[in-house]
Each structure stands twice: as structure tokens, then as C-alpha cells.
């Protein structure tokens, strides 16, 4: 598509959306604005935007599409500012915020002027933030939630989907309220638990060096999201307050339930608690990207000698298999190491397993 796109907020999500738009619509002209000048400079160097601007006011008037990709508490303010500016009458405005109800409420000022705002939330991301972490394929196979108001036409929704086609995401339309309930359960609340687990380990009275060393395995995996931006999560919890508080009540009930089962030494009940969770967890689709991204991990049992990582990555590079992450599990000190290599797709992981099976003696495991 041809047209002027203005991206406000050039961090992880704004940068990734801009890259996805650029990849699909070569003729679009993308202008970026951010309160942080370093991020603007980096976005230019990385080719995320064509041009930067030093005020939203100047650029908004020319824009055909405006993407607001800033913290959720700031999004409502930005909507108000946009509503006070001269805009093209058929401009489409969207956002990427992790909460929707408050933002869509705030967009009423635009609706009153006949300006289309479509609330949106690409449900994939990372614990990393900032322009440098932006990737064109961040949202591939993820759900991209759309929460259009009643004033929005089917044609406007189609136009937005066409603009965002390069994300390769699956669009899903729901109401802002249901969005916030769903996001509360599968994204917002889990971040509280992850942070809580880390805080519990940190404040435990155990030998802190030993805690850090042992926490390198499974604990590290389930608490990855505790490394996310504290400012972003503060804002999300404040905006989704009602849902979060009600989830906390049901979580406390769940904890009380397991607490009494343990107190009563009710082995059948404890088994059932884990079994119910396992059955539901195993029934979740494993190949599509949900809100919490799936990483396709391959475990490689390697002897611990210098150069083993470059040997393995060398074989994978020769067969042009991209990896997204590599780390050593330090659960078996001083004997062998287990390398965990993450891939973007299941296909890459299968190719890597085949490649390492042919070229090395190392055992590999899919978990």
C-alpha cells in the first residue's frame, strides 16, 4: 500500500510494527516519533523508519495510518492530543497497548469527530524492550487482537489488516472488556507470579550464592518474563486493576486449596491438583504462537570443552539454520554441559536436530 505512516513510540513493539509494515509495503513512507532521541537515531540507523520528526503535530496531519506504540498510561493522553490536531478525515489510528478497555474509552473523543480509532494488541513480545530489540517477524503466527468500536466499518478493519499484513499475525476481533479479562489471565497475572517467584527466591534465607547457581535451570525458564520492563508492567496493572484484583482472589483460593491438601497429607488431592494442570497444559496448541511465545528448544548434550559452542553454531550456520538463543544449562557442574538452543520455528529445530545428528556424536533431545 502507498501512504504516510506515523509511528509514535519506536521501542520494541513500535519498531517491530514499523519493520513489518516496511517489509510488506515498499511504497509506504514511515515517519517515526519518540520522546527519546537516542531511540529515534537508532531507528534511523536500523532502517526502521524513513524519517524522524520532532513533533507529532507536524506529521499527524499528513498521515494515512498512525500507530501509537507507547506505554498504556500515555496512550490515552496521546489520543487526546491527536484529537486536538488537524488530521486527514480518512486517517486510521491504532495502538498496540497491552490493555484495551481504558484506551478504547479514551478514543471516544476521536469517534465524536468521525476519526477512526481501532484498538489493537499484538499478543507477542519479549522481556527485552527498546528499539534495538525490534524485529520484523516478532508477531509471526501470534494473535493480533482488534477491538473496534461500533463506529468502525468492516472496510476500515480490512484496511488496517492490510497495513499490518507483514506482521504475519492472526487477527482476532473481540470486545475491549473480554480482551482485558483474557490478557489478565494469560499475560498480566503470570507476570506478577513470575516476579513473585523471583522475589521469593531473592529474599529466602538460604545461601544466596547457592540459590543463584541452582536457579539456572527450570526456575530460570519459568521466570524469564520477570526480566520485563518494570515501568511497562506497573502501567498495565494500574490499567487492568479490576481484572487483576479479581484474579488475585481466585489465585489465593487456589493456593489455599493446595495448602490444605498438603496440610492434610491428601495425596490423592495433591495428585489431582497437578494432574488437572498437566492435562490442560498438554492440550494447549504447541505450534501456534500464543501470547507467551513458544520457543522451539533443542537440548544438546555436549562435553564441556572450549570451542564446543562455536563448533555447533558453525554446523548450523553452514546449513543456514537461524537460532534465536543459545545457553548452557548449569545443572551438572564440571562434568558435561547441556546446550539449549532456541529456534524461531519447529522446522528449524527439526533441521538442526538432523544436522547435528549427521555431523556430530552429540545426543540431542526435544522437550
Ligand X SMILES: O=C(O)C(=O)C[C@]1(C(=O)O)C=C[C@@H](O)C=C1
Ligand Y SMILES: NC(=O)c1ccc[n+]([C@@H]2O[C@H](COP(=O)([O-])OP(=O)(O)OC[C@H]3O[C@@H](n4cnc5c(N)ncnc54)[C@H](O)[C@@H]3O)[C@@H](O)[C@H]2O)c1
Q: Which three cell numbers stand for residue 358?
A: 549427521
Does residue number 48 form part of the binding site for ligand X (CB under 6 A)? Answer: no
Output DSSP code: residue 169.
P
* Residue whose CB is less far from ligand Y, 122 or 148: 122
Cα–Cα distance for residue pair 276/283, rounded to 1 Å: 11
Q: What is the per-residue binding string for ligand X in 262-301, x denoting contact by CB under 6 A?
A: -----------------------------xxx--------
Member of 72, 83, 91, 136 binding ligand Y (CB under 6 A): 72
10 binds, among ligand X, ligand Y, none (CB under 5 to 8 A by kind): ligand Y
User: What is 285-332 written as a DSSP string?
Assistant: -SSS--SS---EEEEEEEE--TTHHHHHHHHHHHTT---SEEEEE-SS
Cα–Cα distance for residue pair 132/190, rounded to 1 Å: 25
Does residue number 119 form part of the binding site for ligand Y (CB under 6 A)? Answer: no
Which parts of 218-257 interact with ligand Y (CB under 6 A)? Answer: 229, 232, 236
Size of the site for ligand Y (CB under 6 A): 29
Cα–Cα distance for residue pair 222/206, rounded to 1 Å: 20
Member of 88, 130, 326, 350 binding ligand Y (CB under 6 A): 130
Q: Could you tell me the smallest distance in angstroms from the CB atom of residue 280 to ligand Y?
A: 24
Q: What is the per-residue binding string for ligand Y in 13-42, x denoting contact by CB under 6 A?
A: xx------------------xxxx--x---
Neighbours of 106 (CB within 10 A): 19
Q: What is the per-residue binding string for ligand X in 206-245, x denoting contact by CB under 6 A?
A: -------------------x--x-----------------
Rounded to 10 deg, the angle between the 267-283 and 241-263 helix axes is 140
Cα–Cα distance for residue pair 160/169, rounded to 1 Å: 13
Which parts of 282-311 interact with ligand Y (CB under 6 A)? Answer: none
Residues 6+ apart with CB under 8 A from 269: 261
Burial label for 175, CB within 10 Å (0-12, 13-18, 19+), is middle
Cα–Cα distance for residue pair 16/20, rounded to 1 Å: 6
Stretch that binds ligand Y, among 120-128, 160-168, 189-197, 279-287 (CB under 6 A): 120-128
Q: Which three cell numbers stand for residue 183?
A: 490478557
Q: Which helix (H) or strand (E) holds 36?
A: none
Does residue number 125 form part of the binding site for ligand X (CB under 6 A)? Answer: yes
Cα–Cα distance for residue pair 158/82, rounded to 1 Å: 23
96 binds, among ligand Y, ligand X, none (CB under 5 to 8 A by kind): ligand Y
* Residue whose CB is less far from ligand Y, 161 or 224: 224
Q: Could you tell me the smallest distance in angstroms from the CB atom of residue 138 to ligand X?
A: 10
32 binds, among ligand Y, ligand X, none (CB under 5 to 8 A by kind): none
Which parts of this chain interact with ligand Y (CB under 6 A)? 8-14, 33-36, 39, 69-72, 74, 96-98, 121-122, 125-126, 129-130, 229, 232, 236
Which parts of this chain interact with ligand X (CB under 6 A)? 98, 123-127, 187, 225, 228, 291-293
Amino acid at each position: 500500500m502507498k501512504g504516510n505512516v506515523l509511528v509514535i513510540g519506536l521501542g520494541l513493539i513500535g519498531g517491530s510494527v514499523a519493520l513489518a509494515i516496511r517489509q510488506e509495503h515498499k511504497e509506504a513512507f514511515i515517519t517515526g516519533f519518540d520522546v527519546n532521541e537516542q531511540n529515534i537515531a537508532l531507528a534511523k540507523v536500523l532502517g526502521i523508519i524513513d524519517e524522524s520528526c520532532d513533533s507529532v503535530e507536524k506529521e499527524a496531519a499528513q498521515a494515512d495510518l498512525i500507530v501509537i506504540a507507547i506505554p498504556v498510561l500515555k496512550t490515552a493522553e496521546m489520543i487526546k492530543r491527536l484529537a486536538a490536531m488537524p488530521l486527514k478525515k480518512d486517517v486510521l489510528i491504532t495502538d498496540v497497548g497491552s490493555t484495551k478497555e481504558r484506551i478504547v474509552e479514551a478514543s471516544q473523543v476521536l469517534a465524536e469527530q468521525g476519526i477512526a480509532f481501532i484498538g489493537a494488541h499484538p499478543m507477542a513480545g519479549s522481556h527485552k524492550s527498546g528499539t534495538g530489540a525490534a524485529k520484523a517477524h516478532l508477531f509471526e503466527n501470534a494473535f493480533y487482537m482488534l477491538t473496534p468500536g461500533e463506529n468502525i466499518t468492516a472496510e476500515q478493519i480490512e484496511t488496517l489488516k492490510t497495513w499490518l499484513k507483514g506482521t504475519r499475525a492472526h487477527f482476532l476481533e473481540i470486545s475491549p472488556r473480554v480482551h482485558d479479562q483474557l490478557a489478565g489471565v494469560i499475560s498480566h497475572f503470570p507476570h506478577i507470579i513470575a516476579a513473585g517467584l523471583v522475589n521469593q527466591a531473592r529474599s529466602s534465607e538460604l545461601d544466596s550464592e547457592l540459590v543463584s547457581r541452582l536457579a539456572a535451570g527450570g526456575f530460570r525458564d519459568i521466570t524469564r518474563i520477570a526480566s520485563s520492563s518494570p515501568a511497562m508492567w506497573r502501567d498495565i496493572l494500574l490499567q487492568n486493576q479490576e481484572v487483576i484484583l479479581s484474579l488475585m482472589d481466585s489465585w489465593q483460593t487456589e493456593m489455599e486449596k493446595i495448602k490444605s491438601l498438603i496440610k492434610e497429607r491428601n495425596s490423592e488431592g495433591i495428585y489431582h491438583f497437578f494432574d488437572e494442570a498437566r492435562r490442560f497444559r498438554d492440550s494447549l496448541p504447541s505450534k501456534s504462537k500464543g501470547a507467551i511465545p513458544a520457543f522451539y528448544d533443542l537440548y544438546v548434550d555436549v562435553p564441556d570443552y572450549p570451542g564446543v559452542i562455536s563448533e555447533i553454531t558453525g554446523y548450523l550456520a553452514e546449513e543456514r539454520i537461524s537460532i534465536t538463543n543459545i545457553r548452557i544449562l548449569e545443572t551438572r557442574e564440571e562434568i558435561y554441559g547441556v546446550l539449549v538452543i532456541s529456534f524461531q520455528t519447529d522446522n528449524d529445530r527439526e533441521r538442526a536436530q538432523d544436522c547435528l545428528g549427521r555431523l556430530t556424536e552429540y545426543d540431542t533431545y526435544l522437550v
